[in-house]
Amino acid sequence: MVRTTQLLHPQRTPAALRPAATVLLLRDSPQGIEVLMTRRSMTASFAPGAYVFPGGGIDAADALAHGQSTRRAAQSDLHLTQAIAAIRESFEELGVLLARRADGSHLATEDIAALDRRAPFAAQCSERGLTLSGAEVFVLAHWITDRDLPRRFDVPFLVARMPEGQEPVADESEQFEPEWVRPADALSRHEAGNFFIIFPTIRTLDRLKAHGSVQSVLDACAVNDEPLFTSCPRAGFLNGAESRHMEHEAPFGELAMVSPDGQIKHELAWQTERPVPLLRNVMRLTAPNPGFMTGPGTNSYLVGDPSTGYIAIDPGPAEPAHLERLWRAAGGDLRAIVCTHSHADHSPGAPGLQALCTKAPPILGLASAPTARANSHFIPERELGDDERLTLKNANGDTRHTLRVVHTPGHAANHLCLVLEEDGLLISGDHVLNGSTTVIDPPDGHMGDYLASLDKLAALCDEHAIDFILPAHGYVLGDLRQAADNLSAPTEGGAKAAIEHLKAHRLAREAKVARAMQASPKGTMDDWVKLAYDDVPERLWPVAKRSMLAHVERIQSLGGFNL
């Protein structure tokens, strides 16, 4: 894990979580699903003026009302309590009652008007012989309020079908202006600036709009009787404006590393004019070579601090302005230059960067293999050994930063990664990227070696408690594992999960390649790419064919099809 001494900002304890429940009341219409939303009071302490779904805090009485509710066989005690809380809140805020008489019918709006929304809820239902419809309320999503906010809630977003014969009547205290709206329309109106909704609402509506009927939503939720997704978002700035992100989105890992407590401090916009501090001992400077294969550009990293000097990793192309910025960011004190591999966007800048230094740092890495292409020729001044350690020491001779060298052939025969041991960081070069999968281009690329290297990196994640991956292209990958401020979040986060997901993706693609070969045994690469990459835009097929050849060679090596 990252040393707290290397974090850029003093940490604070996020606000405690409060249990709550929210319910999306749904109905079918000729135009598709509609969801009931209301506007919160402008004086509300949380999301004032926002359009929301009814809901609120969970009361102790909600857990005591299990005996008054129906229940699915797979419905846990927690989910039933949450369902009862949502039923109560929809009654108190909107006069909608998810409960049935003994004959199975719902109360009509005029019957509900005779009830007191401020009186004890369960007791009123019991007096009238009503059974709460807990079994008809399903968990759609699970949101944990962002760590940066002063009021935080641990809240399931539940779904239920709107009872027939009822119309919403807002309490005119907490909720106003109930409105039925299609998810897509709500999102469009929000974009237009006349229907304010907050981040979890936006993302939930975005998922909901994919369903064609209420029953489709309920069926999806009933499969495992667990949330379809769980999220505790993180936020940074994008060109100066707040930008929030879920766990599966590219910037999330970087925000988790830079501001683990959730403070909104980090700028996410890509720029090449100055280095971006990620930790006190890690800076990233992105080369001005954005493109189809490089994304926002090649990331050069500086590891170290003023007391130890720096190691530059992947100086990038021979771009003088970029190299000078890299040299200046290190204060001219470079102790070594390491190239993760020999490709043209990674190593050519090394001699130019070295020439800027008064005391020339050694250029380290692995020499390009004979299989490398002509524009990937690279010979370091000294070759690094697998498992070798590069250290940076202060004036007292104390080791402050240790980079462990890991030979990871696959993308290139001479590819290596680096582990910053004290902080549990994996600097992955092109072996693991954020936002795309790396190209495996034979003969220098080899799919079998690539997959074996992924296994090697996954084992190192366990050994060094690695949570974050610093790729050569894209944002930092990964997330902190289950933390004290977010005990309800999934525990499968971290660098190892990203690596295992990447391997599973590669193997799934290989299975599609094998099926394409089987379906067209006399086919060509052009024939197979149409089948194996049918989920990829056609304009990407020429690049996809390079990795597909690596899959074909691996399939053949395992005793599969012969060309």
Give the integer Cα–Cα distance in Å for 260 and 423: 14
Whether domain 276-483 has CATH 3.60.15.10: the reply is yes
Give the integer Cα–Cα distance in Å for 348 and 315: 8
Residue 179 binned pLDDT confidence (cut-offs 50, 70, 90): very high
Quick one: what percent of the chain has pLDDT higher than 90? Answer: 90
Q: Which two tokens stand for residue 170?
A: 């807002």
Give the integer Cα–Cα distance in Å for 53 and 89: 10
Give the per-residue pLDDT at 174: 77
**For residue 262, which amino acid is it?**
G
Q: Which two tokens stand for residue 245?
A: 């992100």
pLDDT for 344-402, tens place per residue?
999 999 999 999 999 999 999 999 999 999 889 999 999 999 999 999 999 999 999 99
Coil, strand or helix at 54: coil
pLDDT for 42-87, tens place per residue?
877 778 889 999 999 999 999 999 999 999 999 999 999 999 999 9
The rounded Cα 332 to chain-centroid distance in angstroms is: 36
Which is the catalytic residue, given 305, 345, 423, 430?
345
pLDDT for 226-239, tens place per residue?
999 999 999 999 99
Write phi, then psi, for 265 (nearest 5 degrees): -130, -25
Identify whether the C-beta of residue 416 lies closer than 8 Å to the C-beta of residue 347. no
Domain residue ranges of the chain, discontinuous segments joined by +: 17-231, 234-269, 276-483
The CATH architecture of the domain made up of 17-231 is Alpha-Beta Complex (3.90)
For the chain, give the mean pLDDT.
93
* Residue 264 scores a pLDDT above 90: yes
pLDDT for 521-549, tens place per residue?
999 999 999 999 999 999 999 999 999 99
Q: Would you tell me how many other CB atoms lie within 10 Å of the CB of residue 395?
A: 7
User: Of 158, 114, 170, which Cα lies nearest the Cα of 134?
Assistant: 158
pLDDT for 124-138, tens place per residue?
999 999 999 999 999
Assess whether 345 carries a catalytic annotation. Answer: yes
Give the per-residue pLDDT at 562: 54
pTM for this entry: 0.92
